Chain A
Amino acid sequence: MNRRNPLLPYLLITPTLLFVAMFTIFPLLSSIITSFYKQRLNIPKFREPVWDGLGNYRELLSDEVFRQVISNTGIYVLILVPLCVAAAFLLALMLHAGGGEGSTAVLNRRSRNLRRVGKRMNGFYRTAFFYPTVIPMVSAATIWMFFFTPDYGLFNRFLLFLGYRGAQNWAGNPDLALAAVLITAFWKSAGYYMIFYLAGLQNLPKQVFEAAVIDGAGPLRLLVSITIPLLKRTTLFVTTIAFIGTFQSVDHVFVLTGGGPSDRSSLLLYHLWQVRFDQLNVGEASAITVILVLLLLFFTVSNFIFNERGER
C-alpha cells in the first residue's frame, strides 16, 4: 500500500498538460505552419490552403494598412507603457508619503484623530486610483465614449476649463482617435501597476532611510539615491507586465473607434481580429499571430535575462 504507482505523478499532471498543449503549444505550431499557406475563406479559389512560402509575410510588409497598424501600435505602446509606469510610481509614492512615515511623524504630534483621518484618506485614494482595474475594459470604454462626447462631455468641459480650444470629437477625429484609446487605457490600468509599487515601497528597509536622514540626506536625495535604485526590480517587473498587458488588451478599440477613422487607431491584436473575422484571410492572420507572439516573447525573454543579470 505504501509503494506508490510510478505513473501517478504523470497522471496527475495529464489534465493540465493536455489543455496547455491543446490551447498554447499546438496553436503556436499550427499558426507557424498556416502562415506559409494562402487561405482566404471568401475567395473560392483559396478556400483550401495553398502553399505560398513567405507570401503572407511579403504581403504584410508591403501593405499600407499593416504599416499604419504597426506604427499605431508602436506609438501606443511606447507612450502608454512609460506613462503608466511613471504614474504608477508617482501615485504610489504620494500614497506612501501620505500614509507612511512622513505623515505619521507630523500627525503624531498633532493628534491621534488626525492620524486616523490620514489613514482613512489613504484608503480612499487607493480605492479611487485602483477601482478602474476591476471594471471590464468594454465598460470603461463605454463610459469614456460618453465622457469624450463633444460639447457637453465632461472631458471636453474640463479641457475647456483648462483653456483647450482644439477639436472635441476625440473618438472620431483621425488625429485624436489613438489618443482617445490611449487615455482610456491609461485611466484603466495606471492604478493596477500602482499596487505593485505600493507593495515594493512597503517592503523597503526603513533603517536605510533613517541612516540616510541622520547623515543629512534631503527628500530628493533619498528618492534618487535610495528609493528608485531599491525599486529597480519592481520597475522591471511592472514594465514587463505593462508591455504584455498593452499588447493583449484591445477591447476598448472595439467600443471607442473600431480601429478608425481609416485605421488610425487600429492596434495589432485588433487588426488581427479584423483580418481573420472581417476579411476572412486565414493565412495572413496566422502570419500576424506569429509576429505578435514573437513580439511578446521578445519582451518576456528580455525581462528574464535582465532579471537574471540583476541577481548576480
Chain B
Amino acid sequence: MPRRIPRIQKAAGFRFSPVYLLYAVMTILALLWLSPVVWSLVASLRPLNDPFYSGHIWFGKSLAVESYLKAFRLAPFGRYYVNTVMQVVLILGVQLVFSSLAAFAFARYRFRGDRVLFMLILTQMMIPTSALLVPNFQTIRWLGIYNTILAIAIPFWGSAFGTFLLRQAFLAVPSDLGDAAEIDGCSWYQMLFYMYLPSAMPSVTAFAISSISWHWNDFLWPLIVTQSDKVRPITAGLVRFTQLGEIGAQWALLSAATMIVTLPLLLMFLKFQKRFIEGYLHSGIK
C-alpha cells in the first residue's frame, strides 16, 4: 500500500510530523471541553464548610460526600429519578408499538390516500412539538391530566420520526417474502413480529437511544405540565433545587445536585459510546 503513493510516503518521512502538532492542539481543546464538568465534579466533593473564595479553586482541605447527602436530603432526587424513568419508558414503549404498526402499514400495503396520510404524519418532523407548547398545554388541561406523568408523555406517542425510521427499515424486507408468508396463513402481526421487526433491530435501537436521551433531558414541557415533586422529572427538579432559598451560592451543593442529575446518563454513554453516537446520527433526520 505505501509503495503505490510515493508522494505521501515522502511527506511522511519528516521527523516532526504535523500530526504531532495536531495532537497537541486537539489535546488542549479536549481539556478545555472537559474542564467544566471535571471542575464541577471535583467541586461537588469539597467539604460544605470550605468555600471557594478562600483557598484553592480546585481542591478543598479534603474530599467529602456530604454535599451529595445534603442534596438528597433537601430534594427528593430519588423520586425525580423514578419519575424520569417512568416518563421515558411510557414514551418509548408506546412510541415503539404505535410506530411499528404505522410503519408496517406504510411499508407493506398500498392503500387509498397512503401518500397523503404519510405526509400528514411527517409534518411533525418539520414543526417540533416544543414550539406548540401553548396550545398543547390547553389540550392537557382539557383532557384533565395536568400534573401527571401521562401529561408529559402523551404528546410524543405519535412519532413521525419513529414511523419514518422504521418504515425505511421495513422497506428492506422483500415483499415477495411477505406474500409467501401470507399464503402460508401467516397473520399480519406474526409477519410484523417474526419477519419485519427482527430485521429492523438496528433502527429500533437507534430510535430507542435517541428517544430515551431526548426525553431524559427534556425540561420545558415537563415544567409546564407538572407542579409537584410527585411527578416532576430530574431536569425540572434540578432547576427547582437551584432556586431553593437556603442554597444561595453553595457551589459544592449545587455541583453535587448537578452531578446526581448528570452522571447516570453520562456513564451510560461512556459505556455504550458507539451505540449512542449511532443513535444520535439517526436522530439528525428529525
A95 to B33, CA, bound (A): 15
* A147 near B120: Cβ-Cβ < 8 Å: no
* B33 near A98: Cβ-Cβ < 8 Å: no
**Interface: B124 (CB within 8 A):** yes
User: How many residues of A are in contact with the other chain, CB < 8 A?
Assistant: 104
Partner of A25, one of B43, B120, B235: B120
**Interface: B52 (CB within 8 A):** yes
**Interface: A244 (CB within 8 A):** yes
* B269 near A131: Cβ-Cβ < 8 Å: yes
Residues on the B chain within 8 Å of A138, using CB: 219, 235, 238-239, 261
Interface centre among A139, A210, A282, A297 (most CB of B within 10 A): A139
A228 to B194, CA, bound (A): 44
A265 to B158, CA, bound (A): 34
A21 to B120, CA, bound (A): 8
* B182 near A2: Cβ-Cβ < 8 Å: yes
**Interface: B254 (CB within 8 A):** yes
**Interface: B224 (CB within 8 A):** yes
Residues on the B chain within 8 Å of A6, using CB: 111
* A128 near B242: Cβ-Cβ < 8 Å: no
Residues on the B chain within 8 Å of A151, using CB: 53
Residues on the A chain within 8 Å of B99, using CB: 16
Residues on the B chain within 8 Å of A4, using CB: 182, 188
Residues on the B chain within 8 Å of A158, using CB: 32, 35
* B139 near A23: Cβ-Cβ < 8 Å: yes
Closest A residue by C-beta to B39:
A154
A window 85-126: CB within 8 A of B: 91, 94-95, 97-98, 101-103, 105-109, 118, 121, 124-126
**Interface: B177 (CB within 8 A):** no
* B239 near A132: Cβ-Cβ < 8 Å: no
* 9-residue interface stretch from A52-60, A62-70, A71-79, A248-256: A248-256
A18-B185 contact in complex given A154-B57, A196-B281, C-beta closer than 8 Å: no
* A18 near B158: Cβ-Cβ < 8 Å: yes
Residues on the A chain within 8 Å of B235, using CB: 136-139, 251
* B26 near A94: Cβ-Cβ < 8 Å: yes
A23-B220 contact in complex given A129-B30, A143-B40, C-beta closer than 8 Å: no
**Interface: A273 (CB within 8 A):** yes
Chain A binding surface, main DSSP class: helix
A102 to B12, CA, bound (A): 8
**Interface: B63 (CB within 8 A):** no
Partner of A248, one of B13, B131, B156: B131
Partner of A125, one of B26, B35, B120, B154: B26
The minimal Cβ–Cβ distance linking A304 to chain B, given in whole angstroms, is 9
A31-B135 contact in complex given A127-B273, A144-B36, A244-B128, C-beta closer than 8 Å: yes
Partner of A13, one of B106, B257, B266, B270: B106
Complex A-B: 24 CB contacts under 8 Å: A2-B183, A12-B104, A13-B106, A15-B158, A28-B127, A98-B22, A105-B8, A105-B9, A131-B37, A142-B242, A142-B258, A143-B258, A145-B254, A146-B43, A146-B254, A154-B57, A157-B57, A237-B284, A241-B284, A250-B220, A255-B239, A273-B133, A276-B133, A293-B127
Given A24-B123, A30-B135, A251-B219, 14 more contacts at CB 8 Å?
A23-B154, A24-B127, A31-B135, A118-B19, A121-B23, A131-B37, A134-B265, A139-B235, A139-B261, A247-B131, A248-B131, A254-B220, A272-B134, A301-B126
